[in-house]
Each structure stands twice: as C-alpha cells, then as structure tokens.
Amino acid sequence: MWVRGGPDRPEGPASWDNAAVSHARQQAFIDAPVERIWQLVSDVERHPQWWPRIIQTECEELAEGCTYREVVETPFGKTEMNLLIDGLDDCRNLSIRCLNTGTFVRFGLTQAQDGTFVDGEMGMDPMGIGNRLFDAVAGRRYFTAWMRETFAALERAAQREPSKA
C-alpha cells in the first residue's frame, strides 16, 4: 500500500476546511478493485469486522440523508452514536457525520490500474464543551492515528475478501 497523509487541509467543496476543526487526511493505493473497497466501506453493517474502534452498527437503509446507530470505542469508553449519511455516490464517495459529537469521515475512491486510490478524511467539528475540549487537546493526534489504523485495516480486509469472478 502506498500512503500519503497527514493533517494537511485540502481545498474544494468535499473537504473540511474550518480552522477550528481537527482534521486528518490520508491517501493510499490499495491493491484491490474499487468494487471490493466500496463493498467494505459502504456496508456499514460490516464496519465492526474491519474498522478499528467500531464495535456494533444497526442500519436499516443506506441512502443519502438516512441515519444509523453505531457503538464506538472512544477515549472515554464505549459510546453509542447516531450517524448521518451526509453524502453517497455509488462506488466513489461516502461521507458520514456523527450527530452526537460532530465527528466526520469521508472516503473517496478512484479506480487506478488494477487497484483503488483511496482519499480519506476524518476529524471533528465539535459539538458541546466536552467535545470542544477533547478536540482542542487531542483531536488532531487522535484522528490522524485513527485514520492511519483505518487505512491499514481496510487494506487487510480487502486482501481477505474473495474475488468476484
């Protein structure tokens, strides 16, 4: 896996460009077809199987504007979160925002030769004083580490997935 990433702030409408927001961005080439990566990223019921810190999900429908429930291991213990599918473009883009904390994540996928170029962003536009304090003290470091762990886990999961012939 080729990786480029860090706390840089990209420009454009799909990026999070608020200086008060912690933000981590990472890019990688994963040696797996874009359809396989999309299958892992877009099936929120499977997130606990590969995505670090995700323990459980309950999702009735995956569509832009729908919400689902997720249990996540946070620095403060297990937390139940309500998430909004903020953007969904089949096999290209998935954006999720936590309605409880302001945490956000975006995956952009592009087919590249025989693999997939993945552009990921994660961070927090903190809601509430506790989240603002956490974000100011540890947000950037926390989300950079979580993004790095997420990319490594996504690559491992993609390598385990059977090829569809």
Q: Could you report the per-residue pLDDT of 74-87, keeping only the tens digit for each?
A: 888 899 999 999 99
Kindly report the average pLDDT of the chain as a whole number: 86
> CB of 50 within 8 A of CB of 154?
yes
First to last CA, the chain: 23
> CB of 71 within 8 A of CB of 79?
yes
In this predicted structure, which of 10-19, 48-57, 130-139 has the lowest mean pLDDT? Answer: 10-19
Q: Is residue 12 part of a domain?
A: no
Q: Is residue 75 part of a domain?
A: yes
Q: Is residue 17 part of a domain?
A: no
With 70 as the cut, is the pLDDT of residue 56 above it? Answer: yes
Q: What is the per-residue pLDDT for 19? A: 54
- Enumerate residues 6+ apart whose C-beta is below 8 A from 152: 1
Which run of H or of E encompasses 142? helix 140-160
Angstrom distance (rounded) from CA 86 to CA 107:
12
Q: What is the per-residue pLDDT for 122? A: 95
Instruction: Count how many domains the chain has.
Output: 1
- Enumerate residues 6+ apart whose C-beta is below 8 A from 18: 125
Domain, as residue range, for 119: 26-160
Q: What is the per-residue pLDDT for 90? A: 86
HSE-CB at 55 with a 13 A cutoff on CA atoms is 9
Q: Is residue 6 part of a domain?
A: no
Q: Is residue 156 part of a domain?
A: yes
Q: Is residue 1 part of a domain?
A: no
